[in-house]
């Protein structure tokens, strides 16, 4: 491997949105959480014209979001191994 892996510049966190995990600095992860705490759920449902046409729904529903700290060693190991070959 020719790519040099450097240490993270800040304390890192893993944030889960839906079924996907993202790694970013803790400060940015908490900003995302703060923004989403006032969000509303949105859903679009296709219906034929015979059924009255498309429906749009918006309602209060706290999103399911998880955040956890990731230690330095786990971050470095993840950077070294990179993207899985089966994705």
Q: Is the pTM here over 0.75, yes or no? A: no
What does the pLDDT look like over 24-73, one tens digit per residue? 999 999 999 999 888 999 999 999 999 989 999 999 987 888 899 999 89
Is the pLDDT at 2 greater than 80? The verdict is no
Q: What is the dihedral of CA 42, 19, 86, 69, to 10 degrees?
A: 130
Strand residues in the chain grouped as ranges (E): 12-17, 20-25, 41-45, 55-59, 65-70
Q: Between vectors from CA 21 to CA 24 and to CA 60, what angle results, nearest 5°?
A: 100
pLDDT category of residue 3 using cuts at 50, 70 and 90: low
Q: Between vectors from CA 4 to CA 25 and to CA 16, what angle results, nearest 5°?
A: 30
């Amino acid at each position: 491997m020719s790519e040099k892996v450097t240490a993270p510049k800040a304390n890192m966190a893993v944030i889960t949105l839906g079924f996907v995990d993202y790694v970013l600095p803790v400060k940015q992860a908490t900003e995302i959480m703060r923004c989403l705490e006032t969000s509303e759920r949105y859903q679009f449902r296709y219906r034929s014209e015979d059924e009255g046409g498309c429906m749009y729904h918006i309602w209060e529903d706290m999103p399911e979001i998880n955040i956890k700290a990731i230690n330095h060693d786990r971050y470095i190991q993840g950077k070294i191994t990179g993207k899985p070959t089966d994705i």
